[in-house]
Structure 1
């Protein structure tokens, strides 16, 4: 726990964290009270952030790679067991929604279209009607799905081979756009701007790209990429994967988390870093802003970048979730007037 000026609490570490790597953190929609956390220990945990307590847990047979809320008391999750589970937190019951042929890497609920989207290493995306037991449709992708997100009717999928596909959720016969990542190395995370103008893409090679949906040449001329999560030493520069990206919905600013144990907050439209948080105990594996932007959840988990036996001993650091209470000064673009 840390404090800012006047002794105000700015950060807490959640009690009873998962026992293995943390794969995702997601805040309850339209609230900052509950946080969903999935883990390589097979668990999906629901925390009451206000009370700093573990409210409930359910389990998969194998590691869980992603999870998301569809509504306040209902969530979905998937992982290495290839099973998409739905869970009713009020009733304490789970239901098998469906399957993929290979592990489920991404689970995302689109509130704009009321659809659940899953992406898998079987090179497919499935759209699910959460009210029915069977999936609505399957859509082939060019390679393993690593990351995806939605903004309005846009579905953006990042796959192996540096492919990026932009789909229209209303008409999924073929992708609207097929792109190659502007970053030279493997895609790690992709998140859409809340204003639905584009997306941010990160890679394993300490770079982030800012891209736009509009194919007008004047708009495309605004896209760019920048280096981040790099540590200069006396003899060289250490380059770290950028594992996580999360957007602040009100300001369209975003946070990035890397294997350098750091979290940065950026103003993507003005190409500025707004601030850098303190160094966390180990690699940042996942990030999420609450819908109102008042909190940032930071998952710190060693991601075995240096193998099983790290020279720094990072793998022995306890997996942790931190809740950072953010101020407007930290996340507001500098040019934006106070409201």
Structure 2
């Protein structure tokens, strides 16, 4: 059963993310309507409502929480078409620019707890790693536009245009420790690292998911694989419509993961058993972003009307408003197959 949050963005949702700390179900949401929002996505009194919103000058393409120990932080980071990264105090709504501006949109932002730094990846083919405490930054040039990034332990995975993937040690991002070609034939939509630190999973605009591992040894690399999903099949007409896999989120306890696509569905996978565990009922619009909370008991689902891809706004109808759903997750629901 899913509940719907009030006061969802009117425009496309770019990211939903639960606070990465126990005891809090605050949900951070960035969108193309230039607003960063925080909701109480818990189950108790006062839940389901907007807590605060902060306006910017241009659409936001990504956001992330600060993480310091086990306590929730009121600090978040956001960026987008302004080509800069902001530190946002969500208690006061104060915004502070951190690090140097990029020369194009900021597409992805990662906060690394170990170094307490913020890494931003841009369409200008660069990374900036900034310490918000001192505002000191290190910049690294890339061969392609950044499409998605994620980190685990000291690994930073950067997926770019041209199907290139670079893996960095966050403690020294001047040079990558590995350079790879994506296993996916078409552009990457999102990349997420496995909670156990063994590898990462990426998705593409062509309805595929790839499971990859960090260890470069031939024995481990032989275990990588890809599969297709989030396709709309019309068996009578014999038509297989491919849709982008827009988002992915791991369950923190079991390591199974959820995927979300423009076919308006969410699926749950056991990548070790190479099995789909569940496909949830389709929603009204494309699922743009999903996230599992800290203890694995809730799934946030952000949906938006992305029909503009087929009918441009100047010709097509006004897009429908976005929605945010919170689904309770049973422990048995998310456990992989033995």
Kept in 2: contact 1:113–1:153 (CA 8 A): no
The TM-score with structure 1 as length reference comes to: 0.92
CA deviation string 1:183-216 (max 9, x = no partner): 1111111000000100001111110000000011
TM superposition shift of 1:311:
11
Kept in 2: contact 1:48–1:54 (CA 8 A): yes
Residue aligned with 2:120, SS: strand
Matched, 1:23 2:14: yes
Q: Which residue of 2 aligns with 1:116?
A: 118
TM superposition shift of 1:113:
3.3
Alignment partner of 1:305 out of 302, 309, 325: 309
Alignment partner of 1:133 out of 132, 135, 138: 135
Q: Which residue of 1 aligns with 2:253?
A: 250
What runs of 5+ residues in structure 2 fail to find an aligned partner?
68-72
CA distance in 1, matches of 2:135, 2:197: 30
Matched, 1:103 2:105: yes
Aligned residues: 324
Kept in 1: contact 2:273–2:337 (CA 8 A): no
TM superposition shift of 1:317:
2.8
Alignment partner of 2:32 out of 40, 43, 66: 40
Matched, 1:280 2:302: no
Q: Which residue of 1 aligns with 2:56?
A: 60
TM superposition shift of 1:89:
1.7
Q: CA RMSD in A?
A: 1.7
Kept in 2: contact 1:113–1:152 (CA 8 A): no
Q: Which residue of 2 aligns with 1:197?
A: 198
TM superposition shift of 1:54:
0.6
Matched, 1:177 2:178: yes
CA distance in 2, matches of 1:117, 1:330: 34
The TM-score with structure 2 as length reference comes to: 0.92
Residue aligned with 2:212, SS: strand
Residue aligned with 1:316, SS: coil
Q: Which residue of 2 aligns with 1:7?
A: none
Taking a change above 3 Å as real, the CA distance of residues 92 and 309 of structure 1, as seen in their structure-2 partners, is closer
Taking a change above 3 Å as real, the CA distance of residues 88 and 322 of structure 1, as seen in their structure-2 partners, is same
Residue aligned with 2:220, SS: helix
Q: Which residue of 2 aligns with 1:160?
A: 161
What runs of 5+ residues in structure 1 fail to find an aligned partner?
1-9
Q: Which moved more, 1:159-168 or 1:323-332?
A: 323-332
